Amino acid sequence: MQKLQLLQNQYNPTSDDIFYHIVQAPPDPIFGIANAYKADTSSTKIDLGVGAYRTDEEKPYVFEIIKKLEKEIVNDPTLNKEYLPIEGLADFNKGCQKLMFGQNSPLIASGQIVTAQCLGGTGALRVGFEFVKRHIPGDVYVSKPTWSNHNQVIERAGLNQFEYPYFEPKTKGFNCAGTIECLSQARMGSIVLLHVCAHNPTGVDPTEAEWLQIADVCKKRRLVPFFDCAYQGFASGCIEKDVFAVRKFAELGFQMIVAQSFSKNMGLYNERVGAIHIVTSNKDISARVLSNLKIVIRTICSNPPAIGARIAAKILTDEKNFNAWVEELKTVTGRIIKMRTLLKQELDNLQVPGNWDHITRQTGFFTFTGLTPEQCDLLTKQYHVYLLRSGRMSMAGITSKNVRYLAESIKAVVQKK
Amino acid sequence: MLCFKVMRNFSLWSSVPLGQLDSMSGVVAQYEADDFPQKVNLGVNTYRDNNGNPVVLESVTKALQMVREKKLDNEYPPIEGLQSFIEAAIKVGYGESYYAKNNKNIAGCQVLSGTGAVRLGFEFLNKFVPSGTKVFVPNPTKNIHPIIAKMAGLQSQEYRYFDPITKQVDFSGLSEDLYSAPNGSIVLLHACSHNPTGCDLELYQWKQILDLTKQKQILPFFDMTYQGFTSGDLEKDAQAIRLFTEAGVPIILGQSFDKNMGLSGQRTGCLSLVCSNEKEKLIVVSQLNLIARSLWSCPPVHGARIVETVLNNPELFKLWLCELRVMAQRMKKMRVSFTKALKDIGSPHDWSYISKQFGMYSLTGIGPAQIKELIEKYHIYLLNNGGISIAGLNESNIKYVAQAFHEVTKHNFI
């Protein structure tokens, strides 16, 4: 009633009517930190917030192979600059399938994988969950904790969500028994959101044996695996090993959904390069699934942006480019692993109270430090170290120059009474 | 060791029916597969020059060169996109003088072209307008408009727009339908180059809709996909925007740079809402960001960097205006020539509406049987709704197309 009253008065030029009742939305937990860091004028500030790679000089990094290929594409007069098909660039999609499922996966040849280009990882997740809502609606189980945007995407897609106890704070490891227990109580046909590798925010991944246990409970409860793969290459440093879970589940005959992002592993953050894969039981069903996936995509963006996918396709479908990319990726992931080692050394040298083994045990971009929200606030306010209040630290923001200051700051907040 | 296989004859997706998409996609595929030398694509959805080729604008090429010279990184932009692009888009959409006075009140967000603008806009409205508020869309409109409304949780209803007999706007029908809409309804309006009919409103008609808007507290949502591409004049094409905003009506505007900059592959658009003051604008932007974060996290930057460069560089902007005029004038010329060719051939029907319209599309009223004949006998591809894309016509094919149209329609009333 009040809203209607406000609307009726809307053309009074002195009133704040139509949007009067709208309240400020909270800043995004991750982008908000990035903004706060940008605004900070301290010379010792460290950005460990958003998961974006930095060099040892604290600079953003554009892959050399990306620069080379972008130049080729821009200077190619034969390239069609027009709309891509709704499902995106065919070469890109094929390349994504091979990277995810393996060059010689029989599922590719049999037409059981439906693939569409999406707007980064977020775009793939949203398309996937919208598809789920429309065609196989059910409860979604997400890890506790998970990437903050997962909860928002699932909610906006209109699905209910529950948590499975993923992270064990005592061991700072994967809570396998708790996860299996929880999933075995899930309603049949529920969807389980699983991080393929380099779990965000914890950096803790199941072992191969633990993945088989997860597969077992998914089979028993007819749960639909929905894999989120944003860090292929960043966990073990080996791109094949990192997607063990997806390939294993595929081998075991699961029908499932996979969201794939190239934001981090190709450094294509701002061109929104991703893909969704839906694994079906035969190619006739694949055709029906694709036609419906296209409807979901059509109503979000009509068709995806071209440049990022063209660059990625050139990497994924050309052996020379692919090898160059893999080498460069190893350098990038190698630096992150080195920073983990350095930070642990510094913390040990400074005899910072607590067990910091998890820093080198966890994998990928992030470490779940175990710092409390209050300690994180203090780290930020007093020491200008920016991280998430959950204690998640992006290791890519650590450098050989700032690692000692970081360790000293951590020591200070841990020791503070 | 656990070892098992999931049952292979169980299909998770067995209940998924075949999805039906709109009229465009099938046509393009058929045309591409056809090897008839005189084939004509009148379903093309981007500009073609007189040789039937897509055009990369010189202003865009130069802008891209300038962008590349800056050697920018690939970092995530803010959720709302590039601020410099948003400002430039709002400036060209709302006009310099309105922008100068009011830019602090306009909440803007970079989106994935026109579709993205409608999706983000409708999701935002669904969250904040009173529940049960309907979106009124013209009959006909782009196929996806009512589908996106549904996806966003809004009910949609049609208002009369096109009279298939006169092939003009059914303005009395439109007025009646909008007048009887509930107060506070959202009304989707095509600013120019109405898709799919090509029939645009005259200024005096816009003024009457403005009065109706004020009376009924309507929330106008403008879809402006073809600014500059319609008449060649940015201001003329945005005349409805100028009229409504200068009258103090808070509008919602979706802009696309697909067609007018030939950047269709890069998906560059802007959604903006006119707020009462800066504080409100910041609040609205924060809410738009919340929704955008779960749709795409942040938009792609390539196209936005190019558009922003063209709009902000005086030389490139001038060059772009010339190129816009060339495209718009060619399409107008084709409209006039096509009408004349049909008249010269001796068609019994009145095709003059085609020459009176502007922009990409016309709705001919040609029926399914005739569309089939045009494809099978003449290899001329129309849209399934009888619509034609004027950009597909050129000096080499216009007589052939006119002849074919005459043959399939001479005995049939359309």
Domain boundaries, chain B: 22-55+327-409, 58-316
CA separation, residue B322 to residues A74, A136, B232, B260 (Å): 24, 52, 8, 12
Q: Does A255 touch chain B (CB under 8 A)?
A: yes
CATH fold group of domain B58-316: Aspartate Aminotransferase; domain 2 (3.40.640)
Catalytic (active-site) positions of A: 147, 228, 264
pTM: 0.93
Q: How close, in Å, is residue A219 to chain B by CA atoms?
A: 7
Q: Each residue of B30-82: pLDDT tens digit?
A: 888 999 999 999 998 899 999 999 999 999 999 999 999 999 999 999 999 99
Across the interface, of B45, B46, B74, the residue whose CB is closest to A62 is: B74
Q: How close, in Å, is residue B395 to chain A by CA atoms?
A: 23
Interface contact flag, B46 A83, Cβ < 8 Å: yes
Find the angle CA(A160)-CA(A256)-CA(A274) to the nearest 5 degrees: 90
B34: DSSP letter: -
Q: Does B132 touch chain A (CB under 8 A)?
A: no
Q: Each residue of B138-152: pLDDT tens digit?
A: 999 999 999 999 999
* Cα(A181)–Cα(A176) distance, integer angstroms: 8
Q: How close, in Å, is residue B230 to chain A by CA atoms?
A: 19
What are the backbone angles phi and psi of residue B222, rounded to the nearest 5°?
Answer: -90, 130
Q: Does A310 touch chain B (CB under 8 A)?
A: no
Q: Do A292 and A228 belong to one domain? A: yes
CA separation, residue B156 to residues B22, B141, B185, B252 (Å): 18, 12, 10, 17
- In-domain check, residue A122: yes
Token pair belonging to B207: 């003024």
Q: At what angle do helices A90-101 and A306-316 cross, to 10 degrees?
A: 50
Question: Which residue is closest to A304 within chain B, CA to CA?
Answer: B267
Write the CATH number for A57. 3.90.1150.10
Q: Does A284 touch chain B (CB under 8 A)?
A: no
* Cα(A156)–Cα(A125) distance, integer angstroms: 11
CA separation, residue A269 to residues A96, A333, A386, B128, B390 (Å): 17, 16, 20, 31, 38
Q: Do A224 and A342 belong to one domain? A: no
Question: Which residue is closest to A2 within chain B, CA to CA?
Answer: B130
Q: State which of A317, A344, A373 marks the end of a domain.
A: A317
Interface contact flag, B11 A280, Cβ < 8 Å: yes
Contacts of B18 in chain A (CB under 8 A): 287-288, 291
Interface contact flag, B18 A288, Cβ < 8 Å: yes
* Cα(B190)–Cα(A24) distance, integer angstroms: 31
Unique residue bearing structure tokens 């919602």: B252
- In-domain check, residue A326: no
What are the backbone angles phi and psi of residue B388, rounded to the nearest 5°?
Answer: -125, 145
Number of structural domains, chain A?
2
Q: Do A199 and A55 belong to one domain? A: no
Identify the pLDDT of residue A29: 83
Return the amino acid letter for B103: N
Element (H, E) at B156: strand B155-160
**Residue B103, number of CB atoms within 10 A of its CB:** 15
Contact B45, B292 (CB under 8 A): no
**Residue B372, number of CB atoms within 10 A of its CB:** 11
Q: Do A130 and A157 belong to one domain? A: yes
Q: State which of A317, A342, A372 marks the end of a domain.
A: A317
> How does B342-368 read in b/e, with b if 16+ C-beta sit within 10 Å?
beeeebebebebbbebbbbbbbbbbee
Contacts of B78 in chain A (CB under 8 A): 31, 35
Nearest to A101 by CA among A225, A224, A238, A258: A258
- Put simply, the chain A residues between 79 and 108 with a CB less than 8 A from any chain B CB are 80-86
Element (H, E) at A66: helix A64-74
Q: How close, in Å, is residue A415 to chain B by CA atoms?
A: 35
Q: How many helices and strands in chain B, by DSSP H and E?
A: 16, 13
Q: Average pLDDT in the B406-412 region? A: 91
> How does B309-334 read in b/e, with b if 16+ C-beta sit within 10 Å?
bbbebeebbebbeebbeebbebbbbb
Q: Do A229 and A87 belong to one domain? A: yes
Identify the pLDDT of residue A250: 97
ipTM of the complex: 0.91
Q: Do A277 and A224 belong to one domain? A: yes
Contact B218, B178 (CB under 8 A): yes
Return the amino acid letter for B216: K
Q: Do A32 and A101 belong to one domain? A: no
Domain range for A150: 83-317
Contact B275, A15 (CB under 8 A): no
Token pair belonging to B153: 């949780």
* Cα(B114)–Cα(B221) distance, integer angstroms: 12
Contact A409, A385 (CB under 8 A): yes
Element (H, E) at B254: strand B252-256
Nearest to A379 by CA among A364, A392, A361: A392
Contact B135, B154 (CB under 8 A): yes
- In-domain check, residue A244: yes
CA separation, residue A374 to residues A48, A378, B142, B257 (Å): 16, 6, 52, 46
Q: Where does B180-313 have alpha helices with state H?
A: 203-216, 234-237, 239-246, 278-295, 302-312
Q: Does A126 touch chain B (CB under 8 A)?
A: yes
Contact A376, A385 (CB under 8 A): no
- In-domain check, residue A2: no
Q: Do A198 and A311 belong to one domain? A: yes
**Residue A357, number of CB atoms within 10 A of its CB:** 11
Q: At what angle do helices A244-251 and A208-220 cross, to 10 degrees?
A: 40
Q: How close, in Å, is residue A169 to chain B by CA atoms?
A: 28
* Cα(B404)–Cα(B364) distance, integer angstroms: 14
What are the backbone angles phi and psi of residue A225, rounded to the nearest 5°?
Answer: -70, 130
- In-domain check, residue A178: yes
Q: Do A397 and A356 belong to one domain? A: yes
Return the amino acid letter for B224: M
Examine residue A305 and say whether the peptide bond preceding it is cis (omega within 30 degrees of 0): no
- In-domain check, residue A76: no
Find the angle CA(A221)-CA(A222)-CA(A224) to the nearest 5 degrees: 120
The residue that leads in pLDDT, B186 or B383, is B186
Find which of A153, A299, A310, A365 to mutate to test the B interface (most B CBs within 10 Å of its CB). A299
Interface contact flag, A119 B262, Cβ < 8 Å: no
Task: Tell me the CATH class for B22-55+327-409.
Answer: alpha beta
Unique residue bearing structure tokens 């699961």: A254
Token pair belonging to A358: 């998890």
Return the amino acid letter for B35: D
Contacts of B258 in chain A (CB under 8 A): 83
Find which of A18, A278, A286 to mutate to test the B interface (most B CBs within 10 Å of its CB). A18
Interface contact flag, A81 B267, Cβ < 8 Å: no
Q: Do A379 and A343 belong to one domain? A: yes
Interface contact flag, A278 B13, Cβ < 8 Å: yes
Write the CATH number for A121. 3.40.640.10
Q: Do A235 and A369 belong to one domain? A: no
Q: Do A309 and A349 belong to one domain? A: no
Question: Which residue is closest to B112 within chain A, CA to CA?
Answer: A301
A15: DSSP letter: S
Contact B253, B102 (CB under 8 A): no
Contacts of B246 in chain A (CB under 8 A): none
Q: Does B300 touch chain A (CB under 8 A)?
A: yes
Across the interface, of B16, B46, B301, the residue whose CB is closest to A288 is: B16
- pLDDT tier for residue B374 given thresholds of 50, 70 and 90: very high
Across the interface, of A22, A155, A270, the residue whose CB is closest to B77 is: A270
Q: Does A38 touch chain B (CB under 8 A)?
A: no
Q: How close, in Å, is residue B413 to chain A by CA atoms?
A: 35
- Put simply, the chain B residues between 193 and 222 with a CB less than 8 A from any chain A CB are 214, 217, 219
- In-domain check, residue A191: yes
* Cα(B342)–Cα(B351) distance, integer angstroms: 7
Q: Does A281 touch chain B (CB under 8 A)?
A: yes
The residue that leads in pLDDT, B25 or A173, is A173
Contacts of B284 in chain A (CB under 8 A): 19, 22
Please tell me whether residue B329 adopts helix, strand or coil conformation. Answer: helix
Q: How close, in Å, is residue B232 to chain A by CA atoms?
A: 21
Q: Each residue of B275-295: pLDDT tens digit?
A: 999 999 999 999 999 999 999
Q: At what angle do helices A283-298 and B144-151 cross, to 10 degrees?
A: 90
Tens digit of each residue's pLDDT, chain A (417 residues): 444 344 443 444 334 456 777 888 888 888 889 889 999 999 999 999 978 899 999 999 999 999 999 999 998 888 777 899 999 999 999 999 999 999 999 999 999 999 999 999 999 999 999 999 999 999 999 999 999 999 999 999 999 999 999 999 888 899 999 999 999 999 999 999 999 999 999 999 999 999 999 999 999 999 999 999 999 999 988 999 999 999 999 999 999 999 999 999 999 999 999 999 999 999 899 999 999 999 999 999 999 999 999 999 999 999 999 999 999 999 999 999 999 999 999 999 999 999 999 999 999 999 999 999 999 999 999 999 999 999 999 999 999 999 999 999 999 999 986
Token pair belonging to B180: 């009887």
Return the amino acid letter for A102: G
Q: At what angle do helices B203-216 and B171-179 cross, to 10 degrees?
A: 10
Q: State which of A288, A317, A346 marks the end of a domain.
A: A317
Find which of B16, B47, B272 to mutate to test the A interface (most A CBs within 10 Å of its CB). B16
Q: How close, in Å, is residue A407 to chain B by CA atoms?
A: 27
Q: Average pLDDT in the B2-18 region? A: 53
Question: Which residue is closest to A121 within chain B, CA to CA?
Answer: B296
- Put simply, the chain B residues between 7 and 66 with a CB less than 8 A from any chain A CB are 7-22, 25, 45-46, 54, 56, 64
